[in-house]
């Protein structure tokens, strides 16, 4: 991913657009075919080098014109056909589309890998019962596979959103100074079509001097949403790795050091990195949105920030995805701690199960809720198992036998339709 946005590769993409323009012009008879061939031959970074362009730019203070001048000089008598009818951002924005197309392809691959790892964890742990938590408190039981299936479905939505927006994002332009195509003459629409066909992208339906920045803003907003999805998973792992919970933990290599002063520490540093980078990613949303409203047919206030925002969006999200996949592939799972935590409330997390059983037996839902609220409060205050008090509560035993109470207060018996829900989520997640 980083290589895509290196100076040399970005310059090569500018040159690719110049070459594609020359070939389109030759195809419609606007310039000689020999000229197009020579421009294509010289439009490479081994000839038009980054150093030469930078040196020229220091004198003329225009990066695209510096490249154009050097390419034209290298093409000799055919140099007069370089950049024919184009404005700088015909080249820049179309090159951005090529770079982003390659970057999106990498992100899609990474997201699919993450989705597959989550789906595998969901299927492998579908019956591993653990505490469900709301407000940081023990709620009712779930399974670890269920938790992973929820995340897999979310990553699928991130993939789906990317598939939708890339149709709007990956477009080029060859429409000239203010977007009217005046400089390319009668064949302008055909020239643009041929340029984009040669580069393998679509032309924007209409532009000003630039491709309108709502497209890039949408992508950066998507990246921030996706980064937040990754942050969500990482935050959960960090919480579950707390010493007093320790239901899962990042892998920890034999030679790895957790602290410079506390030899025992095994910190969730990779998940913390993902959460930290998510903060940066969300911060990129503001400049991307600020770049949408430009003066008239364009100003240059988007250019400087985009040289950071676009590459960083791709590079940071790529790093987050790579890191989280590594974490999940090496995740340590502690079933014995999950069992211990299930028992920490002495059965209180099963009050809903008993309440609904009483309601179905005829007590009524509201009355059952009030009875269980009182019993669970007593169990908490007295430090005794809920089950023991249920056995001694006449309102309960009038409806439920001891055997029924025993079965109702087993966590594994109150995980609902998790198997079916996991299967449904995995099918959904793998469908994109």
Furthest C-alpha separation in the chain: 103
Q: Which residues pair with 127 in a beta bridge?
A: none
Q: What is residue 107's three-state secondary structure?
A: helix
Q: What is the DSSP string of 196-241?
A: HHHHT-EEPSS-SSS--THHHHHHHHHHHHHHHHHHHHHHHHHHHT
Question: Is position 46 annotated as part of the catalytic site?
Answer: no
Q: Angle 166-172-177 (CA atoms, 0-180°, nearest 5)?
A: 140
Which residues does residue 202 pair with via DSSP β-bridges, in sequence order? 171
193/166 Cα distance (integer angstroms) = 19
In the residue annotation, 135 being an active-site residue is answered as: yes
Selected catalytic residue, list 62, 105, 259, 304: 259
Reduce the DSSP state of residue 386 to 3 states and report it: helix
Q: At what angle do helices 88-124 and 7-27 cross, to 10 degrees?
A: 120
- Reading the block at residue 53, the tokens are 């362009």
Q: Which of 46, 61, 135, 264 is the catalytic position? A: 135
Q: What is the 3-state secondary structure (H, E, C) of 235-283?
A: HHHHHHCCCCCCCEECCCCCCCCCCCCCCCCCCCHHHHHHHHHHHHHHH
Among the listed residues 268, 247, 232, the one whose alpha carbon sits nearest the alpha carbon of residue 141: 247
Question: Catalytic positions, please?
Answer: 135, 259
């Amino acid at each position: 991913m980083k290589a895509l946005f290196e100076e040399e590769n970005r310059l090569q993409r500018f040159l690719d657009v110049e070459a594609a323009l020359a070939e389109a012009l030759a195809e419609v008879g606007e310039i000689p075919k020999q000229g197009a061939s020579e421009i294509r031959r010289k439009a490479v970074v081994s000839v038009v080098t980054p150093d030469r362009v930078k040196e020229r730019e220091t004198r003329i203070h225009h990066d695209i014109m510096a490249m154009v001048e050097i390419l034209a000089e290298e093409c000799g008598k055919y140099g007069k056909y370089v950049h024919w009818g184009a404005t700088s951002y015909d080249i820049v924005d179309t090159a951005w589309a090529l770079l982003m197309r390659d970057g999106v392809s990498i992100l899609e691959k990474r997201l699919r890998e993450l989705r597959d790892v989550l789906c595998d964890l969901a299927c492998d742990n579908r019956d591993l019962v653990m505490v469900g938590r709301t407000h940081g408190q023990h709620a009712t039981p779930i399974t670890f596979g269920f938790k992973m299936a929820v995340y897999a479905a979310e990553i699928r939505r991130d993939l789906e959103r990317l598939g939708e927006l890339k149709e709007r994002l990956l477009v080029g332009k060859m429409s000239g100074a203010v977007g009217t195509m005046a400089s390319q003459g009668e064949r302008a629409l055909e020239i643009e079509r041929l340029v984009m066909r040669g580069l393998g992208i679509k032309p924007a339906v209409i532009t000003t001097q630039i491709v309108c920045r709502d497209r890039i803003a949408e992508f950066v907003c998507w990246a921030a949403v996706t980064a937040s999805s990754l942050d969500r998973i990482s935050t959960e792992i960090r919480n579950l790795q707390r010493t007093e919970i320790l239901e899962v933990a990042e892998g920890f290599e034999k030679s790895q050091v957790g602290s410079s002063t506390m030899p025992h520490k095994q910190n969730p540093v990779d998940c913390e990195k993902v959460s930290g980078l998510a903060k940066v990613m969300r911060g990129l949303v503001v400049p991307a949105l600020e770049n949408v409203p430009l003066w008239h047919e364009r100003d240059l206030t988007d250019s400087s920030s985009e040289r950071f925002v676009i590459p960083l969006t791709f590079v940071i999200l790529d790093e987050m995805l790579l890191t989280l996949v590594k974490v999940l592939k090496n995740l340590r799972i502690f079933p014995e701690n999950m069992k211990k935590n299930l028992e920490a409330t002495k059965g209180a997390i099963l009050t809903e199960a008993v309440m609904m059983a009483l309601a179905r037996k005829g007590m009524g839902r509201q009355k059952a809720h009030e009875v269980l609220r009182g019993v669970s409060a007593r169990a908490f205050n007295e430090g005794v198992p809920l089950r023991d008090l249920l056995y001694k509560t006449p309102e309960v035993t009038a409806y439920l036998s001891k055997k029924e109470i025993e079965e109702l207060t087993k966590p594994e018996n109150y995980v609902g339709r998790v198997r079916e829900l996991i299967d449904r989520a995995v099918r959904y997640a793998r469908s994109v």
